[in-house]
Structure formats: structure tokens, C-alpha cells
């Protein structure tokens, strides 16, 4: 099983550009999450979804948007990229809401210059 | 305000010895704790967890201890192996929104 896949692995953006980070899971999990990890910091939750058509903000949602049209896909959209969005982004999924183990993708390393 | 803290950014241990990774939390609403392991260029993977109704959970070489009065948990790895070299994240659940709150991670290096 592929589990959680993310594309691209790396990306360099110029300030003000936009992009979409893709996330797909094949485990039929209802719950999906987007995190960012800054150096020396833990993972911070950006957005999460409890099922197709339902999303909600996490701890650090500003500058991002998400959509969930299918169970499998949970893309993260960056509008007007800023240097503060330079980070590693992880997508995760779980069969239950947050309380138990989550399955993570390999991450996308984003640099905004 | 960091609700979950891992105060040691790195730890170096000799192969075969015990590794002890520590985690402190401030939110008394947390009732479930997890440890994740992360290798470079990979996503975190779940390692072991513990409910607040227990004070110890063991899985092979990995044991997690929870001291609720001190709001402290620790991960023991015995014996440590070079393949255990990774970043370990402590996470807690049960606060606002029922989401996971992560610590900053501890990089463990196990020397052969």
C-alpha cells in the first residue's frame, strides 16, 4: 500500500507566487491533516478535515486554504507566498479524529525567497 | 506558549545502552500521549502511546512512562541500536479541539 503520498517533494517559490501541495491517501481514512514543521519546532496543525466536504482550521491557518472533495485527496493551497511559509509540510491521515496514531506522508520542503 | 516541551534537542548514546527521552506538558486536559519517530526525508511514524489511566506501556525495546503529577513522560529504549538514530517527537491529545499537540523533538544518535 502507498499510504499517504505527497507531491512535490521540493519546491522553491518566489514571494507572491501561489501553489498547491497535493496529498492523497489510499487507506480510506476519513480524517486528514496538514502540518508544518519549522526547524527545532514541533509540528503545527494548519487545517484538518473530518470527511469529504468538511474542513476546519487548526493552529496556524493564515495564508493557507484547503478543500476536500473526495475521501482520498486533501490539497493545501498557498496564496501569495511569503518567506514565513518556508517550512516542511506534512500531510497525515487517521481512521479516528486525532486521538490515536496518524499516518504521515514523506513531506514537502518549501522555500519562499 | 508551548504546551508540550522536549527540553533536550539532542541526545547521544552508545549502542547497547539505554536511551531516555523526556517530555513535559502543561495542559492538565491532555489524556493521551504518543511518541513518533522521524528519519530524515521521511514523515513521522507512530512508535508507542500511553493513556493517562496508565503509568507505563511497554512494546519490545520501547517503554513509555507517564508521571501525571509531574506532567512528565519519558521514552526508554533498551538496548539502543544504531537504527534507532532519528528525531523523536512527543505528542499529546485531549486539549482544545481534540487535536494533537507536538513537542519540538529530540534528535537521538546511537553510536556503534
Of residues B33, B80, B83, the one with CA closest to residue B56: B33
Q: Which residues pair with A108 in a beta bridge?
A: A89
Whether A2 has a pLDDT exceeding 90, the answer reads no
pLDDT at residue number A95: 86
Q: Of all residues in chain A, what percent carry a pLDDT higher than 70? A: 96
Residue A78 clears pLDDT 90, i.e. is over it: yes
A107 lies within 8 A of chain B by CB: yes
Chain B hits for A31, Cβ within 8 Å: none
Query: How far is C-alpha B100 from the geometric centre of its chain's CA atoms?
Result: 13
Structural domains for chain A:
4-112 (2.60.40.10)
Residue A96 confidence (pLDDT) above 80: no
Mean pLDDT of chain B: 94
DSSP state of A69: S
Q: Which domains does chain B have, with CATH numbers?
A: 4-111 (2.60.40.10)
The SS3 of residue B44 is coil
Model pLDDT, residue A99: 56
Q: pLDDT tens for residues B66-94?
A: 999 999 999 999 999 999 999 999 999 87
The answer to whether A39 faces chain B, any CB pair under 8 Å, is no
Cross-chain CB nearest to A106 (options B34, B43, B98): B43
pLDDT of A22: 98
* H helix count then E strand count, chain A: 0, 11
CB pairs under 8 A between A and B: 58
Mean pLDDT of chain A: 93
pLDDT, residue B95, reads: 63
Amino acid at each position: 500500500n502507498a499510504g499517504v503520498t505527497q507531491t512535490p517533494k521540493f519546491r522553491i517559490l518566489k514571494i507572491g507566487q501561489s501553489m498547491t501541495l497535493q496529498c492523497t491517501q489510499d487507506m480510506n481514512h476519513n480524517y486528514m491533516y496538514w502540518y508544518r514543521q519549522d526547524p527545532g519546532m514541533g509540528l503545527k496543525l494548519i487545517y484538518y478535515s473530518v470527511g469529504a466536504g468538511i474542513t476546519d482550521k487548526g493552529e496556524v491557518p493564515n495564508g493557507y486554504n484547503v478543500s476536500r472533495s473526495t475521501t482520498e485527496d486533501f490539497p493545501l493551497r498557498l496564496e501569495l507566498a511569503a518567506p514565513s511559509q518556508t517550512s516542511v509540510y506534512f500531510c497525515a491521515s487517521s481512521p479516528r479524529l486525532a486521538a490515536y496514531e496518524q499516518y504521515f506522508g514523506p513531506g514537502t520542503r518549501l522555500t519562499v525567497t | 506558549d508551548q504546551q508540550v516541551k522536549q527540553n533536550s534537542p539532542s541526545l547521544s548514546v552508545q549502542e547497547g545502552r539505554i536511551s531516555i527521552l523526556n517530555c513535559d506538558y502543561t495542559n492538565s486536559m491532555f489524556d493521551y500521549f504518543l511518541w513518533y519517530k522521524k528519519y530524515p526525508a521521511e514523515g513521522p511514524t507512530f512508535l508507542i502511546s500511553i493513556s493517562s489511566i496508565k503509568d507505563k506501556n511497554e512494546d519490545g525495546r520501547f517503554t513509555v512512562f507517564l508521571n501525571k503529577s509531574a506532567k512528565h513522560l519519558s521514552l526508554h529504549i533498551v538496548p539502543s541500536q544504531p537504527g534507532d538514530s532519528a528525531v523523536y517527537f512527543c505528542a499529546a491529545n485531549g486539549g482544545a479541539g481534540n487535536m494533537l499537540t507536538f513537542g519540538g523533538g529530540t534528535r537521538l544518535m546511537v553510536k556503534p
